Amino acid sequence: MDRNQTLVYEPVEIEAFDFRRAMEEASRCLLCEDAPCSTACPSDTDPEKFIRSIRFKNVNGAAETIRESNILGASCALICPQEKLCEQACNRCGIDEPIQIGKLQQFAMEYERKLDKTYLSKTDTYIDKHVACIGAGPASLACAAELAKEGVEVTIFDENEKPGGMLRYEIPPYRLPDVVIEQDIRQLEKLGVKFELNHKVTIDEKEQMKNEYDAVFVGAGTWEAKKIDIPGINLEGVVNALDFLEQAKVSNGKSPSLGRVVIVGGGDVGMDCASTCKHLGADSIYDVFMETLKDAPATEKEKVESFKIGVPLISEFKPVEIIGDEKVEKVKFEHITNGSTMEMVADTVIMAVGQKTRQDAQYWNQRSDIFTGGDMVNGGDTVVQAVKEGKEAATKIINTTFKN
């Protein structure tokens, strides 16, 4: 599957708060002086401050607060696991239920998008400095934004046709529409960040960039699927989750019949595959994973969404064999504690058991003269964590390279 094919999506509407509902929700905020919600946000988006602004009908100020701290504020409003971060830390949890911080952030970002507002400006502090960012995913975008605000000339290189990295090519459009990704990218363009797309940077080229640029940041992500070594893993009909999700976007809902689908993996990617299969009209869908339902790494809202669309989640079973002659026919599973087995009929098996950094990108994690961040360093964390690491890398570039 070629990621550089033109991607065409149907318009997607994401349910959002209207003005009245946003004011009602913001009015529930306790206006904590030392707000734990803000402390719990890796990207320092500062929920306490932007919720306070919304509460006093200053939506413009709320959007400005979000955008100043998080260049991917619009995307994160939709995909960030708030229930594990800021909302879990909310002091209202001890009274009734946490403030719906994600919905309020989405409300403020919708205000920005509809009015085409721009809040970020640049200084002329480092106008003579040039930085190359390899990869156009969250970490690189965050690093580029922080540098550009200081006047640095930044060029982002990416092998794909459009910027966004995993935001663009892994997350289904009904969770994260293209219009929201483009909203975030426009903020970078208005800061003067340049994009060199359809450009895969080789190791030799990276070495050359060290001489052409004052600093090089690599945020190459985790684009290689992990594999499990079981019999039948190479049968026709067995696909990895990344390739499946990318192909689903390219096909725009016109994929060949999936038939009976079995998904292996209980993370967000596995749940995304389940929802995508439902949208593509699969005959049946089952998601099987080794963890308990509670411990499965997917967010609660992803699990709930799978339940809502009728996808059974089967916990505490591991795959031990994929059965078939040339094409998959069944998958055999074994219970992780009692050893019992089950076989499930399948026409398509989607392996969503994790991702890793490609071999050519792993090389850069071992280099002290190259700045790195994001999933290629942390192994695949949240988008807000990648934003944090990108911002930290920008600060390190300024302090260790420009100020010396």
Output the pLDDT for position 7: 35
Mean pLDDT of 355-368: 63
For residue 3, tell me if it sits in a domain: no
For residue 4, tell me if it sits in a domain: no
Output the pLDDT for position 226: 84
Q: Which of the residue ranges 24-28, 364-368, 400-404 has the most confident prediction, judged by mean pLDDT?
A: 24-28
pTM given for the model: 0.88
For residue 1, tell me if it sits in a domain: no
Mean pLDDT of 85-93: 95
DSSP string, 367-385: -TTSEE-SHHHHSS--HHH
In this structure, the answer to whether residues 386 and 344 fall within a common structural domain is no
Mean pLDDT of 47-51: 96
Output the pLDDT for position 227: 85
In this structure, the answer to whether residues 139 and 255 fall within a common structural domain is no
Percent of the chain with pLDDT over 70: 91
In this structure, the answer to whether residues 402 and 350 fall within a common structural domain is no
Check whether 353 has a pLDDT greater than 90: yes
Report how far residue 343's alpha carbon sits from residue 331's, in angstroms, rounded to the nearest whole number: 5
Output the pLDDT for position 9: 36
Please give the structure tokens belonging to residue 95.
């009274």
Tally of domains in the chain: 2
For residue 185, tell me if it sits in a domain: yes
For residue 5, tell me if it sits in a domain: no
- State which residues form the domain around 307: 225-355
Check whether 375 has a pLDDT greater than 90: no
- 162-171, 331-340, 365-374: which has the minimum mean pLDDT? 365-374
In this structure, the answer to whether residues 238 and 376 fall within a common structural domain is no
For residue 274, tell me if it sits in a domain: yes
Longest alpha-carbon distance in the chain: 66
CATH number at residue 173: 3.50.50.60
Output the pLDDT for position 198: 96
Report how far residue 190's alpha carbon sits from residue 69's, in angstroms, rounded to the nearest whole number: 16
Residue 12's pLDDT band, with cuts at 50, 70 and 90, is: very low
In this structure, the answer to whether residues 169 and 112 fall within a common structural domain is yes
3-state secondary structure of 404: coil
Side chain identity, residue 386: A
For residue 304, tell me if it sits in a domain: yes
Check whether 20 has a pLDDT greater than 70: yes
In this structure, the answer to whether residues 214 and 231 fall within a common structural domain is no
Check whether 2 has a pLDDT greater than 90: no
Residue 94's pLDDT band, with cuts at 50, 70 and 90, is: confident
In this structure, the answer to whether residues 67 and 192 fall within a common structural domain is yes
Output the pLDDT for position 247: 84
Output the pLDDT for position 229: 93
Check whether 378 has a pLDDT greater than 90: no
In this structure, the answer to whether residues 236 and 335 fall within a common structural domain is yes
Check whether 282 has a pLDDT greater than 90: yes
pLDDT tens profile 122-147: 999 999 999 999 999 999 999 999 99
Check whether 10 has a pLDDT greater than 80: no
Check whether 202 has a pLDDT greater than 90: no
In this structure, the answer to whether residues 178 and 235 fall within a common structural domain is no
Q: Which of the residue ranges 9-18, 143-152, 194-203, 255-264 has the most confident prediction, judged by mean pLDDT?
A: 143-152
Give the length of the chain.
404
Distances (CA, A) of 377 to 33, 386, 390: 34, 9, 11
Question: How much is the mean pLDDT over the chain?
Answer: 90
Check whether 195 has a pLDDT greater than 50: yes
Mean pLDDT of 303-309: 91
In this structure, the answer to whether residues 68 and 164 fall within a common structural domain is yes
In this structure, the answer to whether residues 285 and 313 fall within a common structural domain is yes
pLDDT tens profile 209-266: 989 999 999 987 766 778 899 999 999 999 999 889 988 876 665 566 899 999 999 9
In this structure, the answer to whether residues 169 and 245 fall within a common structural domain is no
Report how far residue 195's alpha carbon sits from residue 245's, in angstroms, rounded to the nearest whole number: 24
Output the pLDDT for position 354: 84
Residue 384's pLDDT band, with cuts at 50, 70 and 90, is: very high
